Amino acid sequence: MKLLTPHQDWKDYELIDSGDGEKLERFGTVVTRRPEPQAVWSKFLSEEEWKRRAHAHFVQEGSHSGKWDRKAHVQDQWYINYHYKGMKLRFRLGLTGFKHVGIFPEQAINWNYIYHASKGMSKPRVLNLFAYTGGASLAARAGGADVIHCDSIKNVLNWANVNMQASGLSDIRWLLEDAFKFVKREAKRGNSYQGIILDPPAYGHGPKGEKWKLEDMVNELSSEVGRILDPEQNFLVFNSYSLGFSPLVIQNLVRTHFKKHDLKNIESGELFMPEKSGRKLPMGIFTRFKNV
């Protein structure tokens, strides 16, 4: 099992502190304070220091929503950059009603992996499922891949399109679709992809109100994805942020449903973000492999 984190030379992101169910982060010039259920320890910094540093504080009002209390100078939207070798990405961030800001910074280590895997093949077809605002899609496109970006929320697709244009990229195909249904149709059609990225939510809804619960669907989803990943030249990145899952769960799903693929390069573990204090905030689990 591996513990992975983005390279520490990313100037536009910093985890300042965490604890008592919250995290204090800097995105560019904006410092946010928002809930983090994994941060069950005590904070290092004082409450006064948190209040002084935070420009925007997310206050929970329901199980999945709330509002931001922000200082006067904080705008609704701003931009940050991410550079890695030949990959130059730019993201528009914003304060949403669901505590998110439009990026999951721990995924940067997977963007690098996707970029290298895409560059290692000649114009691969890459499918990004549950693709959100498109960090992984941008990485694949920057690596020269033909990319299909699939998500069930129209506003998220529009946001990803803004990020593509801001990054100087083009020609990603946007697909407003229930990811599970699309994968099953592609399997029936006999279509295949050289790269697949999936980060299914623990709970969610499709564009027509379809209900999604990860524990109920992930085994069949894995089976269908295994049918459409090219068995010869390929890469897979499989993430999860379900609090009840071990990294071994995702690895076992991959070993079960990707038997026709060469798994000698498989790796699994946890993603984390480091604090200056030396603590590591867990940010999800992953399994990935590539044959390029």
Q: 288 falls in which pLDDT band (50, 70, 90)? A: very high
- Asked if residue 11 is part of any domain, the answer here is no
**pLDDT digits over 25-82, tens only?**
999 999 999 999 999 999 999 999 999 999 999 998 876 788 999 998 899 899 999 9
Q: With H, G, I as helix, E, B as strand and everything else as coil, classify residue 112.
A: helix
- The tokens describing 267, both together, are 């790796």
* For residue 209, pLDDT beyond 70: no
Strand 22-27: give its sheet, edge to edge.
Answer: 13-19, 22-27, 30-35, 56-60, 66-70
- Asked if residue 146 is part of any domain, the answer here is yes
**Element housing 205 (H / E):** strand 203-205
- Asked if residue 233 is part of any domain, the answer here is yes
CB 249 within 8 A of CB 200: no
Structure pTM? 0.94
- Asked if residue 25 is part of any domain, the answer here is no
How many structural domains comprise the chain? Answer: 1
CB 6 within 8 A of CB 286: no
Query: Per DSSP, which regions of 71-184 are E strands?
Result: 77-84, 87-94, 125-129, 146-151, 173-176
Rounded Cα–Cα distance for residues 149 and 95 (Å): 23
- Asked if residue 260 is part of any domain, the answer here is yes
- Asked if residue 157 is part of any domain, the answer here is yes
% of the chain exceeding 90 in pLDDT? 86
Section 129-154 average pLDDT: 97
> What is the CATH classification number for the domain harbouring 111?
3.40.50.150
- Asked if residue 38 is part of any domain, the answer here is no
Closest CA to 229 of 126, 139, 138: 126
- The tokens describing 37, both together, are 């259920």
Domain that residue 145 falls in: 105-291
* For residue 211, pLDDT beyond 70: no
Give the DSSP letter string of 177-203: S-HHHHHHHHHHHT--BSEEEE---SE
- Asked if residue 273 is part of any domain, the answer here is yes
